[in-house]
Structure 1
Amino acid sequence: MTDRPVQMVNAFVPGTALPPEEAALVERRARLLGPAYRLFYERPLHLVRGAGVWLYDAAGRAYLDCYNNVASVGHAHPRVVQAMAGQAAVLATHTRYLHDTVLTYAERLLAHFPAELSNVMFTCTGSEANDLAYRIARAATGGTGVIVTDNAYHGVTLATAQMSMSIGPAVAPGPEVFAIPAPSPANYPQGVAQGFAAAVTAACARMRDRGIKPALLILDTVFSSDGLWLDPPGFLAAAAAAIRAEGGLFLADEVQPGFGRTGGQMWGFQRHGVLPDMVSLGKPMGNGYPVAGLVIQPQVVAEFGVQARYFNTFGGNAVAAATALAVLTVIEEEGLRQNAAATGQIFRDGLEAMARADDRLGEVRGAGLFLAVDILRDGAPSAPEAARIVNGLRDRGALISATGPQGHVLKIRPPLPFQPDHAGIFLQALRETLAA
């Protein structure tokens, strides 16, 4: 039975003002952090702690976290916290000294990959991992051109921000970045696999017309920022073949779908039976501690290794390695991949049943504990309706967000220990929100 926390305060009544303390925090934040930061929700949430799949605000109210894939094994997981604190109390230093924990973690991590992917380089964030992948691809191919999807998100460094159509026009796209439509059936009615691969080939032709040689196809393997496009399984293989035929490499961005989120398998690319040249990792890797990495086929990184030395002060440090090792152990020993598959199917079935009864809910997509629901108004995509639902759920104690190029797709991505009873709590909150 789900240990649903006792609510310690009454639910927020829509239309009421922020309490003075929170209003002061919002003003202070804007004054100190500047204009580029954003807050979730019309009424910002002031969180002070987390436990398992629950988050708690400053007044003690519990919120069911259906969005946070950073704390993938649950907020403040005791085994992870113990490993982090224990290592920090002994040694916290970088990879230029010999230390066995980072090697133990590398061996354990690489065991979850195809044998061809046998090197790993450590960074602090997924952005750094994708940036490093681009540097390696340029060295390996002699090219500079990059292909992404047209609402992609791959990071916040200059190079990766220019590959991230979803963050706004200030930096994206870069002059060597070529966007193609996301692999949805609407974009490729002739067939997703064939059409998407043809789009890769066409993008390479556009590059060459501008005197640019292809270097890299980088894809979030579930296309989460594009609205979550996962099916049919296997369609990515043709796109990977297309970029290799043009002399480029395929990078599977597993920062969001990786570490068991899609259920059963460990990585999103495994649903497609494709072997990437490189795989970038991040967000859930340290359950909140900043640790990320790039897994690579050795021949891909060989030329980069000749041309440059790689060092990252905090990437792969002793505390990061111990923390990431604990996260991986929890995923393995607590059966979280299998739980994601089983609970995710129950969750999806519940969403599909609701969609059949309410025409504001459109197509439901997902794999494991990564789910999306199109939100419609009069049969058309509706970002305002999606925003109302997201904010209504927040007021009822369930946290999600919206995504997609039109902002009309509910993005549901809870921690991996999420249980069927938790899905039931969310579905009830969604019923109440729709009824309101």
Structure 2
Amino acid sequence: MSDRIVAETVLAGVPTRGNAELLDLRKRYLNPTLSVSYREPLKIVRGEGAWLYDQQGEAYLDMVNNVCHVGHCHPRVVAAGQAQMAQLNTNTRYLHDNIVEYAMRLVATLPAPLSVVFLTNSGTEANDLALRLARTHTGKRGALVLDHAYHGHSPSMVELSPYKFNGKGGEGQVAHVGVVDMPDVYQGAFRDPSTAGKQYAGLLPAGIAGLRERGFDPAVFYCESLLGCGGQIVLPDGYLRDAYASVRAAGGVCVADEVQVGFGRAGEHFWAFERQGVVPDILTVGKPIGNGHPIGAVVTTPEIAASFVTGMEYFNTFGGNPVSCAIALAVLDVIHEERLQDNARVVGNLLMDGLRELQRRYTCIGDVRGCGLFIGAELVSDAAARTPDRAKAKQVVEAMKARHVLLSTEGPDDNVLKIKPPIVFSRRDAAEFLEKLDAVLGGR
């Protein structure tokens, strides 16, 4: 969409620098663990809807930003934050309508008995608080997670994230954490979708036994309702039902991590865990809740929440502040009034259909999976052997970026095209993406 040209907005007092200078200054003043995307990084200065704009005004279709859930700089969300910021921002030791209004509105989207809300600053903080709740409620310490999972960057969450502790610079698995295979019906041990859910869930008892052999009873099982870092994996039918049953029978509680996938992204359901016909004991959310504003939440049952009342105050300086809550309320309004959950379903189906048509023509696409606007296309060098092709995936991402479409890769072999755009992503956007991907795969 090269006709989408906009001027760069320059903040007063902030100099405008070129990419080379910015990269040099990042190296001098920022920690090198702070990475940038693409061989030639982009300087992005503005966003609108599903589009990002560089300093020359060139437009890029954003297909990976699940943070700006209802679109970059949605006017209604921006206005809500501006209005509340101009009036008041303080903490929860003062009474304010926004926090209780948001808690009520959030709970109204959830099944019983999920009805007690804690507001935080991020998804990491939400998952960290969920661990405290689980351990306090059960009196146990052990945790079960899926292989390749990522639940946050705090010390406690890195310990629960094989994606981190088994990766570069990681310190390996700690004794109080058990890891079970993720339910991947394309690359994993069990590939029949009709039985894979039960088979993968059947691995949980061995994981619980392993924890106990190391002296830890299970307090909690963390599972993303759709697996992001694992490679855009959709859980097979029945997986959470049976997995939750095993954990609860062992005295633990179950956390649905929807930091990436909640708020209608799944299309058919507002919450992705609903696809499995289960209700978690604790729900954690982040990223899309504030459309880019730093806010997260934990929702749990009255019973678990009551266990947390020990005499120690839970206070979070910024969690639940009036500005964050005003923004989060506006996000809920936009999702409902613009029918964005339905848009995620309809446009997601168009993307899946289009990707499967390309799969029939290009053998490098080994698998297409997803729901709503959470989609993965796994690239392989040998379709019969399902051999992961990381190099091809990286080449496609760079070639699409050259055509002004932003993608990324994910999965244990880093060979899955990650597709999770803002849920305002349109039919026209989908058609543009599919046309350009067809050209890239066809060498045109």
Normalising by the smaller structure, the TM-score range is over 0.9
Measure how far apart 1:143 and its partner are. Answer: 1.0
Measure how far apart 1:179 and its partner are. Answer: 1.2
Q: How many angstroms apart in 1 are the aligned matches of 2:248 and 2:183?
A: 19
Q: How many angstroms apart in 2 are the aligned matches of 1:310 and 1:155?
A: 20
Q: Could you tell me which amino acid in structure 1 is paired with residue 237 of structure 2?
A: P
**Are 2:252 and 1:248 aligned?**
yes
Secondary structure, counterpart of 2:356 in structure 1:
helix
Measure how far apart 1:96 and its partner are. Answer: 1.0
Measure how far apart 1:232 and its partner are. Answer: 3.1
Q: 1:257 touches 1:267 (CA, 8 Å); kept in 2?
A: yes
Measure how far apart 1:172 and its partner are. Answer: 4.9
Alignment of 1:346-365 (within 5 A): 346-365=350-369
Q: Deviations for 1:310-339, whole angstroms, at most 9, x for unmatched residues?
A: 111001100000000000110011100011
Q: Could you tell me which amino acid in structure 2 is paired with residue 346 of structure 1?
A: L
Q: 1:161 touches 1:172 (CA, 8 Å); kept in 2?
A: no
Of 22, 30, 35, which aligns to 1:33? 30
Alignment of 1:26-425 (within 5 A): 26-167=23-164, 168=167, 169-185=169-185, 186-189=188-191, 191-379=195-383, 380-425=387-432
Q: Could you tell me which amino acid in structure 2 is paired with residue 73 of structure 1?
A: V
Q: How many angstroms apart in 2 are the aligned matches of 1:298 and 1:5?
A: 53
Q: How many angstroms apart in 2 are the aligned matches of 1:178 and 1:383?
A: 28
Measure how far apart 1:193 and its partner are. Answer: 2.0
Q: Deviations for 1:73-132, whole angstroms, at most 9, x for unmatched residues?
A: 000000000000000000001111100111011111100001200101000000000000
- The answer for unaligned runs of 5 or more in structure 1 is 10-19
**Structure 2 residue aligned with 1:432:** 439
Q: Could you tell me which amino acid in structure 2 is paired with residue 407 of structure 1?
A: D
Q: How many angstroms apart in 2 are the aligned matches of 1:215 and 1:307?
A: 21
Task: Note closer, same or farther for the CA distance 1:218–1:231 as it changes in structure 2 (3 Å cut).
Answer: closer
Q: Deviations for 1:168-215, whole angstroms, at most 9, x for unmatched residues?
A: 242453331111111012333573222222211111100100111111
Identical-residue share of aligned pairs (%): 43
Q: How many angstroms apart in 1 are the aligned matches of 2:38 and 2:110?
A: 38
Q: 2:354 touches 2:434 (CA, 8 Å); kept in 1?
A: yes
Q: Deviations for 1:277-330, whole angstroms, at most 9, x for unmatched residues?
A: 000000000001001000001101211122532111001100000000000110
- The answer for unaligned runs of 5 or more in structure 2 is 7-16
Q: 2:258 touches 2:283 (CA, 8 Å); kept in 1?
A: yes
Stretches of 4+ moved more than 4 A in 1? none
Give the number of equivalent residue pairs.
423
Q: How many angstroms apart in 1 are the aligned matches of 2:189 and 2:407?
A: 26
Measure how far apart 1:164 and its partner are. Answer: 1.4
Q: Could you tell me which amino acid in structure 1 is paired with residue 142 of structure 2?
A: G
Q: How many angstroms apart in 1 are the aligned matches of 2:303 and 2:284?
A: 17
Secondary structure, counterpart of 1:375 in structure 2:
strand
Q: Could you tell me which amino acid in structure 1 is paired with residue 112 of structure 2?
A: A
Q: How many angstroms apart in 2 are the aligned matches of 1:309 and 1:343?
A: 45
Q: Could you tell me which amino acid in structure 2 is paired with residue 173 of structure 1?
A: Q
Q: How many angstroms apart in 2 are the aligned matches of 1:153 and 1:289?
A: 21
Q: Deviations for 1:43-100, whole angstroms, at most 9, x for unmatched residues?
A: 1111000001100011111000111010000000000000000000000011111001
Measure how far apart 1:166 and its partner are. Answer: 1.5
**Structure 2 residue aligned with 1:16:** none
Task: Note closer, same or farther for the CA distance 1:73–1:365 as it changes in structure 2 (3 Å cut).
Answer: same
Secondary structure, counterpart of 2:18 in structure 1:
helix
Secondary structure, counterpart of 2:220 in structure 1:
strand
Moved more, 299-308 or 325-334: 299-308
Secondary structure, counterpart of 1:174 in structure 2:
coil
Secondary structure, counterpart of 2:226 in structure 1:
coil
Q: Could you tell me which amino acid in structure 1 is paired with residue 230 of structure 2?
A: D
Q: 1:112 touches 1:266 (CA, 8 Å); kept in 2?
A: yes
Secondary structure, counterpart of 2:251 in structure 1:
coil
**Structure 2 residue aligned with 1:17:** none
- CA RMSD in angstroms comes to 1.5
User: What TM-score does the superposition give when structure 2 sets the normalisation length?
Assistant: 0.93
Moved more, 139-148 or 159-168: 159-168
Q: Could you tell me which amino acid in structure 2 is paired with residue 183 of structure 1?
A: P
**Structure 2 residue aligned with 1:15:** none
Moved more, 171-180 or 345-354: 171-180
Q: How many angstroms apart in 2 are the aligned matches of 1:279 and 1:187?
A: 29
Measure how far apart 1:391 and its partner are. Answer: 1.1
Secondary structure, counterpart of 1:305 in structure 2:
coil
Moved more, 382-391 or 276-285: 382-391
Secondary structure, counterpart of 1:294 in structure 2:
strand
Secondary structure, counterpart of 2:375 in structure 1:
strand
Secondary structure, counterpart of 2:412 in structure 1:
coil
Secondary structure, counterpart of 1:306 in structure 2:
coil
Secondary structure, counterpart of 1:410 in structure 2:
strand
User: What TM-score does the superposition give when structure 1 sets the normalisation length?
Assistant: 0.94
Measure how far apart 1:395 and its partner are. Answer: 1.0
